[in-house]
Each structure stands twice: as structure tokens, then as C-alpha cells.
Amino acid sequence: MELIYPVILDGATGTELQKRGFTGDISAEEWVLTHPEVILEIQKNYVDAGSKVIYASTFGATKDKLKDYGFQDRAAEVNRKMTEFSKEASSGRAYVAGDLGPIGKMMAPLGPMSFDDLYENYLEQVQTLTEAGVDLFVAETMMDVPTARAAVLAAKAVSDKPVFCTFTCDENGHLLTGTDITAALLIMQGLGVDAFGLNCSAGPREMLVNLTELSKYAEIPLIAKPNAGLPRVEDGKAYYDLSPEEFVSYVPAMAEIGVMVFGGCCGTDPRFIAALKENLPKVAMHRPVRKITDQLPAATEKELFLLAPDTSSGKVLSCTADLEDDIMEANEETDPVMTIALNSESDLALFKTTQYLINKPLCIRTDDAEVLEKALFYYQGRALYEGAVSEEKLAELNKKYGVIY
């Protein structure tokens, strides 16, 4: 499929379900299965209003997320049925996106999941969604880099369909885990996502601040899917006061900095999508261009680093029983880059369990292409490389993981 920009996404699903009786005592997916007429109405309304992409209601449809509700054995059914509902609602007038939401359990040491666990959850989900016929994938409301990486890598392992990725961050541009949103952009850009941006978390005025910072590094279209303003809570319920007119008043400023994909999150409804449809033709789009031309765009899981091409790789760490201590010491040294030699599967096993400690740009040194590929899979930043792996293989790994060589 070929997306024609600007793209209008849908608006809120959760708050629209709540208006129609969903109380949260069971999973949204289970509730929608027993109330299919509700999701059909919501999504038909969005398509009628102007949405060109609607999200299948699979936000919480990974097996481990459904396990929270004892509904995990019906994960495949949920993903198939939600796709069917969206395809029926769209009637060919809009693309259907497989919605990959957070699992709600983070990777060790912050949570109980390994990266393999995260990846397998999404791999199973995207396989079913692909078979069901989604047109693209959206990893949305991401709160940490490993979960987003797992979702994106799984989507790309199964399908060549477009992949969007949106995070939610605080007003200072930080994720729940402390990651700077610009680092998340560089990492996801390296994985080859087709568009990147923000959803939920704030209204358009607040979101514009963080999008402006992202625009300094974005080389792909940016996405803006804000709430209908910041919520106020009364009697335990959230209310959103922003009007559709005020919501779209921020569109020209967003388009100016490279936002080309627009939608709404919590508190929005078809009126907001109709306002986008009416106003977007009046606004000039500015597709992002390549910005990082004379620097190396490295990143740890938490922070971006733009390095000079002649940056020294520094002392080389070996994968011994002391690797954890060696990483902690190297973090404090003046070398701008941390280099770790990986020569075997046992080295890789040590690296997997310690890589989260790295807080400066990482250079992986190995002559083994298989070890390099596995290390890039598990490393949660964007790494540099030194060694004798072939140019052809490195070009493949650059496209897949964004490795810098």
C-alpha cells in the first residue's frame, strides 16, 4: 500500500466506548466482542468524518496483556474479530491498522519480562493480524523503548506493510523510564519505521513543544495524535474541554515542523476528525528531510548522542564475569564511546543481561555476523560497529537495526 500524506487517523476509542457503557471491569477487547455494534458505530463515524486510517481494537490484545483478565486463550480470536469489525466499518474507504499497545509489563530489571518475552507476544499478535488482513501496523502509547522495539521488530519480521510508532511522554519530553523522546526517535528511525510521533499524554498545545524538539532530528513524517486537551477529573471521571476548533488551530504549526499524520486520542470524537478533514487542505505540508549528515546518530536506551565521524572507540571491554563492573567503570571514564568485544554465544549471553547498564554510545566489536545480529536485536539503543563483517551484511543490519558502521 502507498500512504498519501497528509494522513488522517481516527480519534479516541476508549473514551468513546466509555460513553456507550464500557466500565473497565473486563478487558476492552472482551467487551467489544460482546458489543460489536458499538465498535462498528464508532469506526463508521470516524470514516464518515474523514479518517483514512482506523485502528483495529487490538490495543490490549497481546497474550500477556489479556492474561491480566484471564482472556489470554482467546488472543488469536480477538485479533481476528477486531480486524473483521474494522474492515466492515471501513467498507474499503479507509485503511485498517493493527494496533499494538503496551503489554503493561516492562523488561527486566524494571519488570518481569525478558526481551524475548516481549518480542514473542508481539510476533504472535502481528502474525494473526497479518493473516486477518490489516493494511499497516501502529505501535502506540509506548512508554519504554524495549516494548516499542519488540513491537516494531515483530511487525517487520512478519510483514512489509508500513509501521507507525507513537510514544506518550511527559511535558519535558521524557518517557516513564526516563528516556528522552529524541533518543526514542533515533532508535525507531534506525529500525525503519515509516512515521514516528506522539499520542495521548497531552493536548495539542503541550504536544507541539515536544514535536518541535523531535523535528530537529526527524527524517520521516511526524505523527500528532493528542488528547482533547488536558483532562479535569470530577467524581472520578475525566472530562476534556478542548473544542474541535481549538484542537485544529495547532495544525499549521505542526505541519510547519514536519507533522504529516494527524489524529485524536482521549476525549476526541468524530467532530475532531471532521475538523481535521476540513482544515488540512488549507495547510502546506513540510515533509522532513535528512538532517543528520555529518554526525553519527548513536543512542543508548535513554539518550541520543551525535558523534563526530572520527570519534575514538576507546578501550575494548571483554565479556568476562566482571563485565557488569567493567561497564560501570567505563561509564565514568572519559572515552566518548564504550566498546565491547563479542566473540561467542557465551559473550552474547553476558551482554544481554548487562547491556541496560550502558549509558554512553556503544560500539560492538566482532567478526561474527551472527553474533552481531543477535547483539543488535537485544541492544536497546542504536549501536556503532567495528570488525570484519561484510559490507553487504552490514548494509542489511543497518536497514534492520540502524547499526552505524
pLDDT in tens, 127-169: 999 999 999 999 999 999 999 999 999 999 999 999 999 999 9
What does CATH list as the number for 7-282?
A: 3.20.20.330
pLDDT in tens, 28-60: 999 999 999 999 999 999 999 999 999 999 999
pLDDT(238) > 90:
no
- Evaluate if pTM is beyond 0.95: yes
Q: Where are the domains of the chain?
A: 7-282, 296-401
338-341/296-299 β-pairing: unpaired
pLDDT(103) > 90:
yes
What is the pLDDT, as a whole number, of residue 277? 98
* Size of the chain, expressed as the number of residues it contains: 405
Among candidates 164, 283, 163, 312, which has minimal Cα distance to 224? 164
Mean pLDDT (the chain, rounded): 97
Q: What percent of the chain has pLDDT over 70?
A: 100
What is the pLDDT, as a whole number, of residue 236? 77
pLDDT in tens, 176-220: 999 999 999 999 999 999 999 999 989 999 999 999 999 999 999
pLDDT(275) > 90:
yes
Who wins on pLDDT, 13 or 241? 13
Backbone angles phi, psi at 392, to 5 degrees: -60, -45
Who wins on pLDDT, 276 or 313? 276
Q: What percent of the chain has pLDDT over 90?
A: 95
Backbone angles phi, psi at 95, to 5 degrees: -75, 150
Distance CA 62, CA 299 (A): 28
Angle at 360 between CA 357 and CA 363, to 5 degrees: 95
What is the pLDDT, as a whole number, of residue 233? 86
What does CATH list as the number for 296-401?
A: 3.20.20.20
What is the pLDDT, as a whole number, of residue 19? 95
What is the pLDDT, as a whole number, of residue 2? 80
pLDDT(302) > 80:
yes
pLDDT in tens, 109-123: 999 999 999 999 999
C-alpha 197 chain-centroid distance? 8
Model confidence at 314, pLDDT cuts 50, 70, 90, reads: confident
C-alpha 210 chain-centroid distance? 15
Q: Is 207 left (phi over 0), alpha (psi -120 to 50) or beta?
A: alpha
Beta bridge partners of 259: 222
Residue 373 burial (C-beta neighbours within 10 Å; 0-12, 13-18, 19+): middle
Domains 7-282 and 296-401 in one fold: yes
What is the pLDDT, as a whole number, of residue 237? 81
